[in-house]
Each structure stands twice: as structure tokens, then as C-alpha cells.
Amino acid sequence: MSANDFLSGGFAAAPESSDHFEIKKSYDLFIDGKWVKAPKQFETINPATDEVISRVGFAGKKEVNQAVKGARKAYDNLWSKMPPAERGKYLFRIARLIQERAREFAVVESMDGGKPIRESRDVDVPLAAAHFFYHAGWADKLKYAFPGAEVSSIGVVGQVIPWNFPLLMAAWKIAPALACGNTVVLKPAETTPLTALKLAELIQDAGLPPGVVNIVTGAGDTGQALIEHPDVDKVAFTGSTAVGKAIRRSVAGTGKRFTLELGGKAANIVFEDAPINEAVEGIVNGIFFNQGHVCCAGSRLFVQESIADKVIKKLKKRIESLVVGNPLDKNTDIGAINSGEQLARIKNLVKVGKDEGACMWQPSGGVPRKGNWFKPTLFTECAQSHRIVQEEIFGPVLAIQTFRTPQEAIAKANNTPYGLSGGVWTDKGSKIFKMTTGLNAGVVWANTFNKFDPTSPFGGYKESGIGREGGLHGLSAYCQVSY
Ligand code: TAP
């Protein structure tokens, strides 16, 4: 498929090239510092073109066991005993290598996952490097992170990550684990294994001792085998609430430590005194960033009744200008839906929204012929009971409701099983404090949305999970802290 097969919103196409690096025809599993053949393989597909990019290994119980053994050996003999400043040097090296190979990682991430290159280039990859830099700095300062406490490592960590931020989630998980002296077995998502495998190559280039990081690709069964492995001391999972619940049941009574970062249904709340144009940008960024495949996406918009018509009109005008198309084109605002399965889920919930009586609007532009696409979509006339208001769609679909008072906004925003994030748009600082204390969410942004930083803890309440990642809170989840 050529770049011209995609729509470019009236702009001249500006595709990023993919000929400056190699994607191998097939990848094995990265176990104990070596590339190990898996008994079978599966294809990883470019969701924007339906083309096969590569074939990757499918790890079964035997390979997962081999990886955990490698991680245990590296933990017992080397990594947990290494002077922390030496561990830090490896992390700094990995961070710098990610920066050096940033363009390659950004292109592969967009090809394998479907996200616009502007996002993988400006958000995913720089943040992944930042997570390694940040945690590299903590490696030899853990006793200052928790003053007065004895701090030690935990052991072997089993980590399972989703497909929406593949490299970034790997960095979120691996960097703090290594900084605290643990070793790791990581299972990337089935539809987006490539940047984790490229990270394994980079880790080899960084000279990290064998077994400290192991990467086993596969499907849900591979993740389950890892989580249930008796020699795993801690489980770190990011993914859906349904799988998170199953994991919590499986670790119950085993003594394994665990953190669960799960789904969300964030409220983005716009008051009549907000800077409206900025708020409209924030609404667009909140729900259409990464095609809405974002756990903290602002998927429920609450607009104060007095400005609702104005905000919705401006929002529609802005959405008309969004470019849906080639993820590798630098003009693209909304890329491809990550998989056919996810596209079917989005279509199904959108149909439910219409059937339940909400009013759907989509912009006039088309979408490319091949691949998985869904237009940015708004729903008005939504009720709290509608499934599109209660359930995580994980796609570019926004449910809009109105409110009259801050109390009503808080009550409606909190009426969800989730509690991951939220946003408040207002000119008044006092209102921001009132709202942020009233909202039941782990992260609340004020007059902005979807901003991330490794120093800032991230995580949820209720069905959005348990534990935090990032900052000191995230660090404490990877060490034993005894006072
Ligand atoms: P899941 O279906 O839960 O998959 C997440 C990971 O778990 C994948 O690697 C998956 O493997 C694996 N997995 C599936 N079944 C498993 C099992 N029984 N035991 C162990 N591992 C298993 O989620 P997803 O659809 O990839 O990701 C979307 C979800 O992640 C959304 O709900 C989103 O909100 C959430 N998410 C949350 C956050 C935070 S920080 N809270 C961040 C990003 C995403 P396969 O891919 O091979 O099936």
C-alpha cells in the first residue's frame, strides 16, 4: 500500500520513512540473555494496512518456566547483590540508547499498534526514555527515597502489559523493577510485541547481564502462566478490569505482591467560566489521543448547561478538521484501531448507544479503504444508565452530558465503577480544589488532560486497580520498605 492510498486531510502527505532500520522476518523469545526458539509462532499485523510485519514466538508454560528460572538465577547470583550505583549505570545506558534509536522505536510502534507517528515520536518514546532516566537516578538513593527505612529488593517480577502503549508500558514496568534490584519476566500484548522485542535487542546492546530482563511473547495463556508461576514474587499487571480480577483471584493466598492498573471511564468536566477554546482542545486530546485506546481517556464529557450548545458546536467544527489516516504520516491526528477485535467491540458499543436512544454524530470525512478505522464519534442525549456512559469503549467515542452545579457534576462523574482519572476546566482555583477533592479518581488534571511524567504516581480507585506506578509510590511497589 502506498502513502497516497491514505487520506491526508487536504495536506500533502508527509510519511515517516521505515527504511532506516530492520524489522526481522521473525523474532524468538528473549530468555536468559539469549534468543530462544518458541515451539510455535504467530503473526503481528499492521492494523493500518492488514499487512504482516513479522512473526514472533509464542511462549508456552515451558518457555515461561525457563524465563522465570533465568530471572531467578540472575537475581540470586548477581543483580540483587550488585552495588546500586552499578545498576543505575545500566539504566542510564538503556535510557540513552532509547534516545539514540528514538526514530526507529517511534516508527515500529506506529506500524505495529496503529498510533499516529506524532504521538509515538513525541509522547511514547521520550516518556519511555524518561522512565529509565528517572529510575536510574533512584537506584543508589533508595534509602533517601524512604528515609529511616530499611529498603531491599523483592525478587523475580512477572509483568504483563497491554497493547495501547507497548514500549511505554514496558518502560513503566521494567525501569522501577530493575532500579530496586529485582529481575523481570515481561509479557507484551499479542497485537503489539515488536517494540518490546526491539527493547530486548537494545538491552543486549546495553550489556545488561543475562536473565535480568526476559521477554516472552504470546497470548493470554502466556500471561496467565507467568502470573501463576510459583517462583514469581511480585505480579505487575496493566490491562482490563476483567483480567485484573482473575489475576487478583489467582494470586490470593500465594503471598505474591501485586499491582493492578486497570480500566477507566474518566469524566472531563467543563464549567461555564472555563477558557472554551482551550477546553475544546483538551476534550479532543482527552478522547482522541491514541484513538481513545487510553485507560485514562476523557470518555465522558460533562459540560455546564449554559455553555453546552456553544462547546458542542465548537467541538464538531474542530473534529471536522482532524485527519484520520496513515499512522506514519506526520499530518495524522487519529490512526488505526489496534485490531479487528477491538474495532468490533467499538462498533458493537456504538450500536448499543444508538439503540439505547443516544444521538450519534460523526464528521463528514472518510476513512482509508484497508485496515481498521473508526471515525471520531460524539454522543449527545446520553443518560447515566446508558452502557456507553458506564462501560469502557476504549475507542474514539465521547459520551456528552450536561450539569448545572459542581455538586451535580461530582455526583455524575463519580457514578461509575471506575476511578482512574478526571479533568476539570475552570478559571477559578477554588473550584479546582473543590472538584479535585470531590472526584473519586487517582489522577485529576486541571485545565489540561493526558499529561504524564515519571515523577508523578499514576493509578486508580475501585475497578481501576490497586497500587500506583511512577514517582515514589510506584518505586515503593518494587521494594520491601521496613521501618
Ligand atoms: P487485557 O485483555 O486485559 O490484556 C492485557 C494483557 O494481559 C495482555 O498482554 C494480554 O495478553 C494479557 N492477558 C490476557 N488474559 C490474561 C490472563 N488470563 N492472565 C494473564 N494475562 C492475560 O487488556 P487489553 O485489552 O490488552 O488492554 C486494554 C485494557 O488495559 C483497558 O481496559 C485499559 O483501560 C487498560 N489499561 C490500563 C492502564 C492503566 S495504567 N490503568 C494503562 C493501559 C491500559 P494478550 O494481549 O496476548 O491477550
- Locate the ligand 1 atom nearest the alpha carbon of residue 239 and give its number: 30
Residue located via cell numbers 545498576: 87
pLDDT given for residue 12 in this prediction: 87
Which of 16, 109, 261, 391 is catalytic? The answer is 261
Q: What is the DSSP string of 345-357?
A: HHHHHHHHHHHTT
Per-residue pLDDT tens digits for 60-103? 999 999 999 999 999 999 999 999 999 999 999 999 999 999 99
Residue located via cell numbers 546495553: 206
**Cβ–Cβ < 8 Å for 282, 383:** no
> Does ligand 1 come within 6 angstroms of the Cβ of 394?
yes
Question: Mapping DSSP to helix (H, G, I), strand (E, B) and coil, where does residue 411 land?
Answer: helix
Checking if the pLDDT of 118 tops 70, the result is yes
225 alpha carbon – ligand 1 mean position (Å): 15
Checking if the pLDDT of 5 tops 80, the result is no
- Stretch 199-217: mean pLDDT: 98
- 119 part of the active site: no
The mean predicted confidence, pLDDT, of the chain is 96
For a pocket test of ligand 1, which of 41, 190, 295, 461 has the largest count of ligand atoms closer than 8 A to its C-beta?
295
Alpha-carbon gap, residue 402 to 310, rounded angstroms: 12
Cα 141-145-149 angle, rounded to 5 deg:
100
Alpha-carbon gap, residue 458 to 451, rounded angstroms: 11
Tell me the chain's radius of gyration from C-alpha atoms: 22
Letter string b/e over residues 25-57, b meaning 16 or more CB atoms within 10 A of that residue's CB: eebbbbbbbeebebeebbebbbbbbeeebbbbb
Compute the half-sphere exposure of residue 232: CA atoms within 13 Å on the CB side of its CA.
27
For a pocket test of ligand 1, which of 58, 164, 259 has the largest count of ligand atoms closer than 8 A to its C-beta?
164
Checking if the pLDDT of 275 tops 90, the result is yes
Checking if the pLDDT of 157 tops 70, the result is yes
C-alpha cell at 332: 495524522
Alpha-carbon gap, residue 237 to 259, rounded angstroms: 6
Which of 16, 104, 295, 391 is catalytic? The answer is 295
Which residue puts its alpha carbon closest to atom 22 of ligand 1? 220
- Stretch 266-273: mean pLDDT: 98
pLDDT given for residue 9 in this prediction: 66
